[in-house]
């Protein structure tokens, strides 16, 4: 089982499904017993939405398309 520090360090890879099945399972196990890390995970995943909603600013179409392409390329690597 992972500790909180290890869990936070692997969070981005966990969400992007880049971890080995063993590491993914270890994080799932940690989340099952650690409400603090579950709360951190929720805030980590909700922050972009909250910022978007609070600013009311829309991303220009050209920027959105370029960002999506960039992220898709990163996922392929």
> How many domains are contained in the chain?
1
Closest alpha carbon to 26 in 49, 43, 9, 42: 9
Could you list the residue range(s) of the whole structural domain that residue 18 is in?
4-76
What is the structure's pLDDT at 63? 92
Question: Is residue 55 predicted with pLDDT exceeding 90?
Answer: no
Q: What is the pLDDT of residue 77?
A: 77
Q: What is the CATH number of the domain that holds 72?
A: 1.10.10
pLDDT of 25:
95
pTM score = 0.61
What does the pLDDT read at residue 2? 82
Contacts of 67 (CB under 8 A, 6+ apart): 59
Beta carbons of 30 and 2 less than 8 angstroms apart: yes
Per residue in 1-37, pLDDT (tens digit) is: 689 999 999 999 999 999 999 999 999 999 999 999 9
């Amino acid at each position: 089982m992972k500790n909180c520090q290890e869990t936070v360090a692997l969070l981005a890879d966990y969400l992007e499904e880049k971890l080995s099945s063993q590491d993914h399972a270890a994080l799932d196990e940690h989340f099952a017993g650690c409400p603090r890390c579950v709360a951190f995970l929720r805030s980590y995943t909700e922050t972009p939405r909250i910022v978007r909603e609070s600013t009311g600013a829309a991303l220009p179409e050209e920027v959105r398309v370029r960002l999506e392409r960039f992220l898709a390329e990163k996922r392929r690597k």
